[in-house]
Structure formats: C-alpha cells, structure tokens
Structure 1
Amino acid sequence: MSAALLPKPQMRGLLARRMKFHLIGAFVVSMGSAVLYKFAVAEPRKQAYADFYRNYDPMKDFEAMKAAGVLESAPAKKCW
C-alpha cells in the first residue's frame, strides 16, 4: 500500500539535467577561482616587480656582489 503513495522517480533525462547543473556550477567555481587568483596573487606580484625595478640599479648590485665575493668570474680587486 505504501508503494502507491510514493511518487515515481524521474529516470528519463536525469543525467542530462544533473550534468547541466554540475557543468554550470563547475564553470562558476572555475571563473571565481581565476578572478580570485588574478586579484589576490597576480596583480600584487606584478606591482611588487614594478616597485622593485623602478629604482633598481644593476651595476650597483653587480659591484656589491663582486665586493662580497659572490661572483667568482669577476675579481674583487683589479688585477692590472
């Protein structure tokens, strides 16, 4: 008797309906992740590089490394 009271489950088109729901959800989550990564990681990193290279003097850095003895191919003192 209780079997007559329960509605029949939908079998036709069930996979297509669930697939549409999950594809839309996956698209929304992936786009949200991409936007979050862009504004939380990529833009601050780009700004940090721009700030670093704004006042960067490569010759001054080279001379400091040469004086510290980090560079073996460049002698710390002039040999000539």
Structure 2
Amino acid sequence: MSLPKPVMRGLLGKRLRFHLPIAFTLSLAAAIAFKYTVTEPRKQAYADFYKQYDATKEFNAMREAGIFESVRPSGE
C-alpha cells in the first residue's frame, strides 16, 4: 500500500481561486476600517481645531514669549 501521488497540475490556479477573493475582501475591510477609525476622526479633529484657531493671537503670544529672533516684543 503506497500513498497516492499529490495532484500538482493546476494547483496554483486552484489555490488562487480560493485565496484571492478572501485576500481581496480582507484588504478592503481593513482599508474601510482604517478610514473610519483613523482618518475620519483625524480630519474632524483638524476641522474642530481650525474652527477656533486665531493665527494672529498665536503669533503675538509667541512674539511676547521671545520665540522669534527677528521680531521684537511690542513693549520694546
């Protein structure tokens, strides 16, 4: 009694027909999950930040703190 020969002809195509749709579905699910768990909250956080951001006020605060070398504080 011997072991039967493994079927090698068409093995790659047979395995690809099984694994390719699974890989495609999982990658699509991962991309959608990343979009809605990472990028959308990040975009919303940026939008919320810049709704109330005042660049002039921030510049004046940094100027008063002496961060800039080429800009004098308004008191001098």
Question: TM-score, structure 2 length as denominator?
Answer: 0.83
Q: What's the C-alpha RMSD, in Å, of the aligned pairs?
A: 1.8
Aligned length: 76
| Cα shift at 1:51 | 0.2
Identity %: 54
- Deviation for aligned residue 1:7: 6.3
Rounded Cα–Cα distance in structure 2 between residues aligned with 1:73 and 1:25: 60
User: Which 5+ residue runs of structure 1 have no aligned equivalent?
Assistant: none
Structure whose alpha-carbon radius of gyration is higher: 1
Equivalent of 1:53 in 33, 50, 54: 50
For 2:67, the aligned partner's letter is V
| TM-score (normalizing by structure 1) | 0.79
